[in-house]
Structures are given as structure tokens and as C-alpha cells.
Amino acid sequence: MKKIINDPNLVVQDMLAGMVAAFPNDLKVVPNTTVVARKDAPVSNKVGLVSGGGSGHEPAHAGYVGQGMLDAAVAGEVFTSPTPDQVYEAIKAVDGGAGVFLVIKNYTGDVMNFEMAAEMAAAEGINVEQVVVNDDVAVEDSSFTTGRRGIAGTVFVHKIAGAKAEAGGSLEEVKAVAEKVVANVRSMGMALSPCTVPAAGEPSFVLADNEMEVGMGIHGEPGIARKEIATADEIAQELTQKVLDDIEFNSGDEVAVMVNGLGSTPEMELFIVNKKVHAMLADRGIKVYKTFVGEYMTSLEMAGCSVSLLKLDEELKELLDAESKAPAFRS
């Protein structure tokens, strides 16, 4: 295992300290927790947004904490759900009196632990609502999931629900727009190489020198096909077509595109994929409103990418464009 770390058991703690050192005016770690929160949290009378999950997906989720996006992100151990008590700490830290909204990626552990925390908070009189993101069209049910997995499309939920909360939306309004994003976002990914969880020390799976896996999850969960590596155009075609088949798109529709790198795929390759995605959308008369190319939801040093499409309406466009001061999503 080749990693720039100190102790495999301290990577999350060291990372959070290094992150807050980088952005001391914007972020804080809630004392004695693995919760990264806005420096000014709780913001009075604003709905507080909390997300999080296992670490190893950086910049998700703490990179999306900031004005206009999340109020707090809870970091679990690498690829491991944060415990209910940590989520509960996050909820308390961002409760400004207007309720707290949880954005949960659909993994069994995350859903269970976030829901348990919500119950703990409700018992304290905090109003909590949630959305579960399940944008990955690759497979139904997987290693750690019942139903579809939540992957890179989750970042659109953070951005848009965050903008709604920042604009003064009520808990019900934030929930409604988050559900609208979930209903309109689809993603699919593929991997060329595995990644190594620091505490495990060994790669989580093996791919041969000429192999790729299509539909692989962001923790290395199995996809739909392991096959010979294809060209960028063929890969983009396969991912994008599966997304397009899953939701009704009509000529004239507007979308946001995200081409997300999983960790070690050079930006050069992501832009090559983006070229084909745009060509496919143009062929179908689908208009691209905005494009995001980069590392938004990674799997440590896994090589590969995912393609996400979010179907937009006027409300979603406006909220997508709203200002964000989160370190990993400046707009």
C-alpha cells in the first residue's frame, strides 16, 4: 500500500484537521466529533443541511460545507457509515430553529444511522426531514444497498437544496426541491482500477490489465459487466445511454452534466468523455445548461469515472446558479 498518511487508523482525524487548517474562516470541526460545520453554524432561522457518509469520497462531503450548500458533513471511517451519535451531533450543531434536513446516500448503513439520529433529535424537539439519494442506474440492490445506490448526483442535491435553504426556504420547501432533484438525476460509473482502504492495506478487488468494470459502485461494489477496456467514446456512450434510457428526455429539455472522476483518472480523460456526452445530447436535441467536469465524488485512488445528468426546470436552474462558498463548489 502506497499512501501519504501517518497512521491508517488516524486518516479521518488527520484529514479533518488539515481541512479546517486550510479553511479556518469558513469551517470548524465540532469538538470531539468527526463533524465539519460552517464556522457560523447554527445559522438562526435557516434550515440546517446535513450530509455525510463514509470517508474516502473527498471532496464529498466536507468540501461541500459552506454558505449556499451544506451546514455540516459527518465523516465516517473510510467507506463506513458514521455512527448515529455523530450524525446527531451534526444535527444539533446546525439547528438554528427552522429544522434540519438530511441528505442521505442510499446505503443501508447510512440510511439506518441517519434515521436513528433523526429520531434522537426529534426526541429533543428538533424538526428533522430527509431525502435519500439513489441516482445510480447501474444495479438494483448491491453489496451494501437495498435499491439503487447514491453516487455523484448527490452533489446536485447538496447544491440545490442548499441554495433553497440559504434563500430562506422552509423545511418543507427544502425537502420538496431535494425530492425534485432526486427524481430528475441519474448517474452511472465505471472503473479501471481498484482502491485500497488504508486500514485494510490491500486493494478491494482486482481487475486485469485489459479489463474494466461497468456500473461499479463508489466502494468497489460489483457493477453489471466486467469486460475488455473500451475507447472513451464507447465508455461515454454506454454510461450516458443507460442514464438516458432511465428517465424521459425530450428534445428541448435542459440538463446539467457532471463527468466525475473517481480519483486517479486524469482530468484530460474526463474532458475526452465529456466531448462524447455532449455530442450524444446534441444528437437528441437535449440542451446542456451547465457542465461540471472534475472530482466531485471519489473512491480514494480508484481509476474511472461516472456520468450524471440532471433534468432541469426554471427553479432548479436558478438554484443551481445561486452563489456557493463551499471550498469544493464555488459558484
**Looking at residue 203, what DSSP letter applies?**
B
Q: Which residues pair with 305 in a beta bridge?
A: 190, 261
Output the smallest distance, CB 271 to its own copies, in A.
3
DSSP-derived 3-state class of residue 20? helix
Output the smallest distance, CB 22 to its own copies, in A.
4
* 9 binds its own copies, rule: CB under 8 A: no
Question: Are the CB atoms for 160 and 178 separated by under 8 Å?
Answer: yes
Neighbouring residues of 16: CB distance < 8 A, sequence distance ≥ 6: 29, 34, 36, 62, 75
Known active-site residue 219:
yes
Cβ proximity to its own copies, 223 vs 263, nearer residue: 263
Question: Are the CB atoms for 12 and 74 separated by under 8 Å?
Answer: no
d(CA 156, CA 161): 8
Instruction: Tell me which residues in 41-60 interact with its own copies (CB under 8 A).
Output: 55-56, 58-59
Give the helix ranges, DSSP H, for the chain. 11-22, 84-94, 108-123, 154-166, 171-184, 232-246, 267-283, 314-321
Neighbouring residues of 100: CB distance < 8 A, sequence distance ≥ 6: 47, 48, 49, 50, 91, 94, 121, 126, 127, 128, 129, 171
Output the smallest distance, CB 183 to its own copies, in A.
25
Known active-site residue 57:
yes
Cβ proximity to its own copies, 112 vs 282, nearer residue: 282
Output the smallest distance, CB 278 to its own copies, in A.
4
Instruction: Tell me which residues in 167-196 interact with its own copies (CB under 8 A).
Output: 192-193
* 331 binds its own copies, rule: CB under 8 A: yes
d(CA 51, CA 94): 11
Query: Which one of 214, 303, 319, 320 is in contact with its own copies (CB under 8 A)?
Result: 303
Cβ proximity to its own copies, 129 vs 301, nearer residue: 301
Instruction: Tell me which residues in 232-261 interact with its own copies (CB under 8 A).
Output: 232-233, 235, 257
* 123 binds its own copies, rule: CB under 8 A: no
The count of residues interacting with its own copies (CB under 8 A) is: 58
Question: Are the CB atoms for 196 and 301 separated by under 8 Å?
Answer: yes
Write the binding mask 262 to 281 for its own copies: x where contact by CB under 8 A, - elsewhere: -xxxxxxxxxxxxxx-x---
Cβ proximity to its own copies, 166 vs 295, nearer residue: 295
Question: Are the CB atoms for 74 and 97 separated by under 8 Å?
Answer: no
Q: Which residues pair with 256 in a beta bridge?
A: 290, 310
d(CA 84, CA 110): 9
* 21 binds its own copies, rule: CB under 8 A: yes
* 11 binds its own copies, rule: CB under 8 A: yes
Query: Which one of 32, 44, 123, 209 is in contact with its own copies (CB under 8 A)?
Result: 209
d(CA 255, CA 151): 18
Active-site annotation holder among 61, 158, 219, 278: 219
Query: Which one of 115, 129, 301, 318 is in contact with its own copies (CB under 8 A)?
Result: 301
Catalytically active residues are: 57, 219
The site for its own copies (CB under 8 A) is made up of 2-6, 11, 14-19, 21-23, 55-56, 58-59, 63, 192-193, 209, 212, 229, 231-233, 235, 257, 263-276, 278, 288, 291-293, 295, 298, 300-301, 303-305, 330-331
